[in-house]
Amino acid sequence: MRLPITFFRRYPGESLLTLLALLLAGVAEGFGMTMLLPLLGIAIGGPADAIEASPGQKPALEQTIIRLFELIGLSPTIGLLLAVFVLCIMMKAALLLIANKRVGYMVSRVATDLRLDLIRALFTTRWEYYVHQPIGRFTNAFATEARRSADAYLYGIRIMAQALQAAVYTVVALMVARQETLTTLLAGFVILFALRHLVKKAKTAGNRQTQLLKSLLSQLTDTLQSIKPLKAMARENLADAVLQTRTRRLNKALRKQVFSEEALKALQEPLITLFLGFGLYAALVWWEMPMATVIVMIFMLIKILKALQKAQKEYQSMVIAESAYWSLWSKIEEARREKEHHTGSLTPVLEEGIRIENVSFGYGDRFVLKDLSMSFPMGSFSAIIGPSGAGKTTVVDLITGLLTPREGTIWIDDMPLTAADIKAWRRMIGYVPQETLLLHDTVMVNVTLGDPAFDEKDAQRALSEAGAWGFVAEMPAGIHTVVGERGARLSGGQRQRITIARALVHRPRLMILDEATSALDPASEAEICQTLRQLKGRLTILAISHQTALLEAADRAYRLHMGMAELLATPDEKKTLRYPQNHRQGGPASEKMR
Ligand SMILES: Nc1ncnc2c1ncn2[C@@H]1O[C@H](COP(=O)(O)OP(=O)(O)OP(=O)(O)O)[C@@H](O)[C@H]1O
């Protein structure tokens, strides 16, 4: 029952109100039920005055109710007792409606809160943590685990509702016949105990499902993202085999869950009937109880046993879904622990340029950059080249603050990056990655990312600067044309130019292109280079590239090698570069901005 307590702590007010409504509904029903005893007493044993003639033989509860009516000056007639009974049941229905409505809202709120917690935690994690996470792990947590967690909350509330009902019925039944009620309770707990292993089995099946769904969705997401080469090489059967095996295992876990659920349902009914049959025999033959009392008792005892049975059923459903909550919560907590820490608060300007001074950085034990020094004066167009794995993207990630140097300093003008408000700094950057990722939306939304601060004019200006306005204007709905899933209706070069427009729309001070022209044909690349040359001066451009055209367009170039940088400044020097054949050994270069 750790989960209901956890939810209760998280939503104390809501949970208390819901439980109160459920308790009142139970009390209303319980009180209504007590009317049945004098009602049946009259129906079976004659008029009320006949009851009064021998009060000593009546159960304590019946006598109390009769006295209660007398106290307010009313005679407990069949009509009056029936009216109170119906009123109580109507009140119970109204209270249940209120409680169930609250529970329904709470279930969707639980799922929403968990999803928002996950998104918030994930978006604020350190970059190094984030890049190592399988996407499927989080999409599964967001969709499946959040929903199963909300279901677990629902089952938890239902368990409490059933437990409350059982408690109310027990109190009423104890007032009618103590010994018989206690015997019934004992029988109820024996049934729960006898069937507990089916609950345990269901819990194991639920845990297994959580594990399998996690790995299956991670695998599926990875496979779907790389399906083209797999299909092209006729290797999809390899991924297919792994996915099929895991899906079958999931099916097996589901079958085990279904079996436990159905077995519990199937065994509860005959066990309850057996105990009730035995109880009825004892009441009529051994204890010789009056008929009215027996009828009311049987009614109450069935209610108690049914409530216990339902509570166990709901408990079984809760433990099946519970593991999803713990799995999701552990991801949220893990992501919160991996929060990005930036304490800087100064607003950067970028008027002189960016300097990397004696920076060292590594992943784990392995150093990628050693005592690296580079500078990018304001308004310059710099290219960074170097063999694969030399650390070019790492340099860019250090400049954007996604990574933090182990040693050395990154300066924005005369401000260390650590002192800068990192969000303010990143808002000054336009970033164009190698992989173009377009949203299944209009060109306009793809450029502005839905930011209301930008209008159509801003988007058009950015598209023109990126050399994309020509083809966008010719599209059926112009800037409002939907680009298709991941920009499927556009060529690779067109997609890339829209991504460049996205990076330009907020008028950045620093533009970073990470292999951004690699998908372009020479003509498109030349166009982009022309655009970049025009932008140069207004903003600082930093391009990682293996492309000769971009390199030639740049007015300075760094070659990264063995964790160090070499500045190749003159146009002649740049022309000799035909990466990767001609790369030379680099040496540390610490230099002033110029
Ligand atoms: N998140 C990471 N965890 C561990 N190692 C990493 C990580 N990212 C990069 N590396 C390693 O750091 C080195 C530098 O990587 P980086 O991506 O900066 O190189 P690059 O010069 O941009 O390469 P490429 O031209 O192939 O894109 C590589 O050896 C790479 O394997």
Question: Each residue of 151-202: pLDDT tens digit?
Answer: 999 999 889 888 888 888 888 888 777 877 888 788 888 888 888 888 899 8
Atom nearest to 396 CA in ligand 1? 18
Q: Judge if the beta carbon of residue 369 lies within 6 A of ligand 1.
A: no
Q: Going by CA atoms, what residue is nearest to atom 28 of ligand 1?
A: 389
pLDDT of residue 347: 93
- Over residues 453-461, the mean pLDDT reads 92
- Over residues 221-241, the mean pLDDT reads 78
Token pair 């009392």 is at which residue? 293
pLDDT of residue 567: 83
Q: Is 167 helix (H, G, I), strand (E, B) or coil?
A: helix
25-48: per-residue pLDDT in tens? 888 888 887 787 777 777 665 544
CATH architecture group of domain 433-507:
3-Layer(aba) Sandwich (3.40)
pLDDT greater than 70 at residue 573: no
Supply the mean pLDDT for the chain.
84
Q: Judge if the beta carbon of residue 363 lies within 6 A of ligand 1.
A: yes
Pair of tokens at residue 206? 């639920």
Ligand 1 center to 391 CA (angstroms) = 6
pLDDT greater than 80 at residue 529: yes
Task: Give the fold, CATH level 3, of 342-428+510-594.
Answer: Rossmann fold (3.40.50)
pLDDT of residue 59: 63
Which CATH number is 2-202+260-337 given? 1.20.1560.10
- Nearest residue to 65 via CA among 90, 88, 26, 37: 37
289 Cβ neighbours under 8 A, 6+ residues apart:
177, 180, 283, 297
pLDDT greater than 50 at residue 380: yes
Ligand 1 center to 164 CA (angstroms) = 59
Ligand 1 center to 349 CA (angstroms) = 29
Q: Judge if the beta carbon of residue 391 lies within 6 A of ligand 1.
A: yes
Atom nearest to 131 CA in ligand 1? 1
Q: Judge if the beta carbon of residue 389 lies within 6 A of ligand 1.
A: yes
More confident residue, 66 or 263: 263
Phi-psi region of 413 (alpha: psi -120 to 50; beta: other; left: phi over 0): left
Q: Going by CA atoms, what residue is nearest to atom 4 of ligand 1?
A: 363
206 Cβ neighbours under 8 A, 6+ residues apart:
257, 319, 320, 321, 322, 323, 324
* Confidence tier at 591 by pLDDT (50, 70, 90): very low
Pair of tokens at residue 122? 């994930």
Q: Going by CA atoms, what residue is nearest to atom 1 of ligand 1?
A: 128
pLDDT greater than 50 at residue 588: no
Pair of tokens at residue 327? 């799995």
More confident residue, 223 or 543: 543
The domain segmentation of the chain, as residue ranges, is 2-202+260-337, 342-428+510-594, 433-507
SS (H, E, C) 365-416: CEEEEEEEEEEEECCCEEEEECCCCCCHHHHHHHHCCCCCCCEEEEEECCEE
Please spell the DSSP secondary structure of 276-295, one letter per residue: HHHHHHIIIIIS---HHHHH
- From 385, 392, 435, give the residue whose CB has the most ligand 1 atoms within 8 Å, as the site to mutate: 392
Sheet containing 415-416: give its strands across.
Answer: 366-377, 353-363, 407-412, 415-416
Ligand 1 center to 386 CA (angstroms) = 12
- Over residues 237-247, the mean pLDDT reads 82
Question: How far are the Cα atoms of 240, 490, 498, 539 from residue 484, in angstroms, in the given order?
Answer: 27, 8, 13, 32
pLDDT of residue 395: 95
Interface confidence, given as ipTM, is: 0.96
Q: Judge if the beta carbon of residue 368 lies within 6 A of ligand 1.
A: yes
Q: Going by CA atoms, what residue is nearest to atom 16 of ligand 1?
A: 391
350 residue type, one letter? L
Q: Is the Cβ–Cβ distance between 468 and 497 less than 8 Å?
A: yes
78-82, 114-118, 407-411: least confident range: 78-82
Question: How far are the Cα atoms of 53, 180, 201, 362, 391 from residue 289, in angstroms, in the given order?
Answer: 19, 11, 42, 84, 89
pLDDT greater than 60 at residue 336: yes
Q: Judge if the beta carbon of residue 392 lies within 6 A of ligand 1.
A: yes
Q: Going by CA atoms, what residue is nearest to atom 29 of ligand 1?
A: 389
Through-space distance between the first and last CA atoms of the chain, rounded to whole angstroms: 67
Q: Is the Cβ–Cβ distance between 514 and 393 less than 8 Å?
A: yes
Ligand 1 center to 433 CA (angstroms) = 14
Q: Going by CA atoms, what residue is nearest to atom 6 of ligand 1?
A: 363
Ligand 1 center to 388 CA (angstroms) = 8
Q: Going by CA atoms, what residue is nearest to atom 3 of ligand 1?
A: 363
pLDDT of residue 550: 80
Which helix (H) or strand (E) is 544 found in, with range? strand 540-544
Distance CA 485, CA 292 (A): 71
Q: Judge if the beta carbon of residue 585 lies within 6 A of ligand 1.
A: no
pLDDT of residue 439: 85
Q: Is the Cβ–Cβ distance between 78 and 132 less than 8 Å?
A: no
Phi-psi region of 339 (alpha: psi -120 to 50; beta: other; left: phi over 0): beta
Q: Is the Cβ–Cβ distance between 593 and 377 less than 8 Å?
A: yes
Regarding pTM above 0.90, the answer is no
Please spell the DSSP secondary structure of 246-271, one letter per residue: HHHHHHHHHHHHHHHHHHHHHHHHHH
Q: Report DSSP state, residue 145.
A: I
359-371: per-residue pLDDT in tens? 999 988 888 998 9
Q: Is 59 helix (H, G, I), strand (E, B) or coil?
A: coil
- Over residues 94-101, the mean pLDDT reads 89
Tell me the pairing of strands 353-363 and 407-412.
antiparallel
Atom nearest to 128 CA in ligand 1? 1
The count of other CB atoms within 10 Å of the CB of residue 19 is: 17
* Confidence tier at 344 by pLDDT (50, 70, 90): confident
Length of the chain: 594
pLDDT greater than 80 at residue 341: yes
Asked if the domains at 342-428+510-594 and 433-507 fall in one CATH topology, the answer is yes
pLDDT greater than 90 at residue 447: yes
pLDDT greater than 50 at residue 592: no
- Nearest residue to 282 via CA among 158, 186, 418, 157: 186
pLDDT greater than 60 at residue 51: no
Question: How far are the Cα atoms of 152, 187, 248 from residue 362, in angstroms, in the given order?
Answer: 43, 66, 42
